[in-house]
Chains A and B, each alone.
Chain A
Amino acid sequence: EIVMTQSPATLSVSPGERATLSCRASQSVSSNLAWYQQKPGQAPRLLIYGASTRATGIPARFSGSGSGTEFTLTISSLQSEDFAVYYCQQYNNWPSTFGQGTKVEIK
């Protein structure tokens, strides 16, 4: 089973600043990686799939990059609605596995 490790666990960012979240896989997952956003009391929402393709309706300030074992989710200019927990998911090898999440909080 592939282990997904996200860092940092918590990221404190001021509105309007850039946020960079990392996700590392214990072995290569090619580009078979997705990112999700979860707000308190809500279900996760798909942001990115294929490591870099934005899902329908996702603002352009969200971008994903990476392949193999190292991936990054970048939020170019944080808006108030972006403060949430973000999870990565690999679907290259099943069972699919998620990272532990990065909480983006207001600085």
Chain B
Amino acid sequence: QVTLKESGPVLVKPTETLTLTCTVSGFSLSNARMGVSWIRQPPGKALEWLAHIFSNDEKSYSTSLKSRLTISKDTSKSQVVLTMTNMDPVDTATYYCARIHVTIFGVPNWFDPWGQGTLVTVSS
């Protein structure tokens, strides 16, 4: 059974750096046909893709947030880490990690499954 679980702080202060960890099970981060993405959802709002990382360590970031995001993985620990710098109250959201399906040509597709999500509030 494939599962993903997010962990990290529930509250961060403005200007601080957020570090979130996604721990996966049921698949390997070295699998060439899979990657892990981070996606967020502000309360009552829509979903926003943030970043993904593939088995070959290829990374991609949201255009608007690229300067603030860093994604990395530790295959031996089955973990993917996302850091977001200079947090602001508008970054208050539920942050999800999800497995991303990758074609044989290395093209990312859909997200399945998703972790349960972790709500991060940015407030002083």
A residues lining the B interface (CB < 8 Å):
1, 32, 34, 36, 42-46, 49, 55, 87, 89, 91, 94-101
Contacts and interface: CB of A to CB of B under 8 A. Distances in A.
Nearest to A46: B112
A55 B99 CA distance: 14
A94 B117 contact: no
Contacts, number: 54
Given A43-B115, A94-B60, A95-B63, A87 B47 contact: yes
Interface string B82-119: 00000000000000101001000000111111111100
Given A89-B111, A94-B60, A99 B117 contact: no
Interface bin, chain B = 20 to 34
Contacts of B116: 42-43
Given A87-B47, A98-B48, 8 more contacts: A1-B63, A43-B113, A46-B113, A89-B47, A89-B110, A95-B49, A95-B60, A98-B49
B62 interface: yes
A96 B49 contact: yes
A16 B98 CA distance: 32
Interface string B22-42: 000000000000000000000
Given A43-B117, A95-B62, A55 B49 contact: no
B114 A43 contact: yes
Contact of A44 (B48, B62, B114): B114
B114 A45 contact: yes
Contacts of B101: 49
A73 B37 CA distance: 24
Contacts of A97: 49
A8 to B, nearest CB: 15
